[in-house]
Homo-oligomer: A and B are copies of this chain.
């Protein structure tokens, strides 16, 4: 099996996980310049925003970069469901003096579309990765045609086999330890979600394409262990959250650096899709999983004013404090140093 060094033309088998909301192109450029594969998360960017970040990256490094998109199908808004969800949150709105009737529709999260494909054609990045499956075939074909290697995430053996069937160039096997949104897309049943130790070797045995391990990998020791399981490389997110280039908020940084980061849960109450973050007040009081949460990404707007008010008072009680089950690799150094540290044992 090819390692991702050969596949992507990079020096170190380390992919910096795209972290929408907590990084810009600066982190991607720093990781790529250091020899890893930096990632630019585009789910919260307009096409103009993507262009601007890619310009910034190009001004820093000419090395391969991964451009990452969500691939969900936008849901049909369901006013009844969303109204009921705001009723669930009503006691919190009252506590903070928020009139739920005044809450604007949130920015949401945009999936890969024709406009994004135009950007790819103009910039021709080395790698394009998708989360939540893959876009529809005609859009996927456009991403492929611009010359990019195509990556997507599997959380189960079935998803890995499905992705291989669609012709992806490599598969990220995301163990249940991973922070942020689960890539799960063939099922809604969270009991299907498997630990990295169980997932990686089973996927490696079942597919022919390179497998990239993700979930619980925090340092050089974790990278070595993942490669021992047959991974061709690793994708690491949480360890980058305190680095200089991260846009992680001060409140989120404080939590990550504390023992509170040891207790995370998979929750759907922030966006509508399951994602792992540190257990905080809102997760304890209505979560972690709530059947009434809106469809992704419609969940983001209802919680936004609570998060803003609480953060203005200095607490992360209502914030999505994304974090994997192993925050021990978080360090306040440069992204390049995190990258070299991860790769130091392989």
Contact = CB atoms under 8 A, between A and B. Distances in A.
A219 interface: yes
Interface residues of A, number: 41
Interface string A323-337: 011101000000000
Contacts of A279: 191
Interface in A126-147: none
B205 A328 contact: yes
Nearest to A231: B225
Contact of A222 (B158, B197, B324): B197
Contacts of A158: 262
Nearest to A345: B228
A199 to B, nearest CB: 8
A13 B31 CA distance: 38
B326 A197 contact: yes
A290 interface: no
Interface string A166-179: 00000000011100
A202 B263 contact: no
Interface of A: 156-158, 175-177, 191-192, 194-199, 201-202, 205, 215-219, 221-222, 224-226, 228-230, 262-266, 279, 288, 324-326, 328
Given A195-B197, A197-B197, 16 more contacts: A191-B263, A191-B264, A191-B288, A195-B196, A195-B215, A196-B196, A197-B217, A197-B225, A197-B226, A198-B326, A199-B325, A201-B326, A201-B328, A221-B229, A221-B230, A222-B229
